[in-house]
Amino acid sequence: MINLIYSPQWFYGKDIFIDIISLIVLALISFFAFKYYKFNKEKKNHIYLCISFGLISLSFLFKIMTNFSLYSIERHTAIIGALAFTYNQIHYTNTLFLGGTLIYRLLTIVGLFSLYLLYYPKQRKSSILLLSYFILVTVYFTQFAFYPFHITAFLLLILLAWHCYQNYRVTKDRPALLIFSSFSIIALSQILAVFLMMTKTFYVVSEIVQLLGYSLLLSAFLMVLYYGTKKNKN
């Protein structure tokens, strides 16, 4: 049977809290990108950014719902006793885990991939098709092992971080530096999650690093808003 819960018991709920913060940060950026798209519809980049961040944000919603349900079931089972854990419950939990986790992983990878296409637009159609195929294969295999997902997410995030670094080198913009740092830290959280097979402590470390990454992304975003407003006052 596959391992359904990655978190140690004492960390239940705390990881959900971290994911809620990540979801809010991503949804906020997605919302503002949409607002700017509505303001200037001639530039499609805003809507692509909105969709990419929106997809990753939505993926967190599935992760939160899945984990919340799994933790509730486990707590409930612990209260009424192990004997009450019937075949039906095992079947239901497995289906919930596979369904929820698969959607979470699919949306995350698709979101990151669309962000990659936005940042690296000069791609041949054949390359995009081939990459899409590999993405789907990766997501399919994450049903059986979790690490292909984390490795793929890590690689995509590293490429995104690299683009952000190049952008920072050109613009020397402080929020751009923070965005680069946050993408790098989020990438680190993905590679840390791979070591989860050794001990569940890596899940905790990975989630804390993820919190750090998204907090940094939030501060970068707030700085973007502040700098934008400051420009008006000058």
Partner 1 sequence: MEPKRTRTDIIADMLQAIQNKRGNIKPTHLMYKANLSHAQLKSYLEELVEKELVEKTPNSNNNMYISITDKGHKFVQKWNEMKQFEKSFGL
- Rounded to whole angstroms, how far apart are CA atoms 186 and 190? 7
Q: Beta strands of the chain (E only): which ranges? A: none
Identity at 105, one-letter amino acid code: R
Using the minimum distance from each CB to partner 1, give the nearer residue, 156 or 176: 176
Long-range CB pairs of 135-138, under 8 A, 24+ apart, other chains included: 135/109, 135/110, 138/109
Using the minimum distance from each CB to partner 1, give the nearer residue, 25 or 224: 224
Using the minimum distance from each CB to partner 1, give the nearer residue, 91 or 169: 169
Shortest CB 128 distance to partner 1, Å: 19
Using the minimum distance from each CB to partner 1, give the nearer residue, 1 or 42: 42
- Rounded to whole angstroms, how far apart are CA atoms 49 and 228? 18
Using the minimum distance from each CB to partner 1, give the nearer residue, 148 or 175: 175
- Rounded to whole angstroms, how far apart are CA atoms 181 and 68? 30
Shortest CB 117 distance to partner 1, Å: 13
Neighbouring C-beta atoms of residue 128, cutoff 10 Å: 12
What residue ranges bind partner 1 (CB under 8 A)? 32-33, 36, 39-40, 42-43, 45-46, 49, 118-119, 163-164, 166-167, 171, 173, 175-176, 179, 220, 223-225, 227-229, 231-232
Q: Is 74 exposed, middle or buried (0-12, 13-18, 19+ CB in 10 A)?
A: middle
- Rounded to whole angstroms, how far apart are CA atoms 165 and 177? 7
Shortest CB 35 distance to partner 1, Å: 9
In the chain, how long is the greatest CA-to-CA distance? 70
Using the minimum distance from each CB to partner 1, give the nearer residue, 1 or 172: 172
Q: Which residue has the tokens 């054949």?
A: 126
Shortest CB 89 distance to partner 1, Å: 45
Using the minimum distance from each CB to partner 1, give the nearer residue, 41 or 76: 41
Question: Torsion-angle region of residue 5: left (phi > 0), alpha (psi -120 to 50) or beta?
Answer: beta
Shortest CB 224 distance to partner 1, Å: 5
Shortest CB 74 distance to partner 1, Å: 40
Shortest CB 233 distance to partner 1, Å: 10
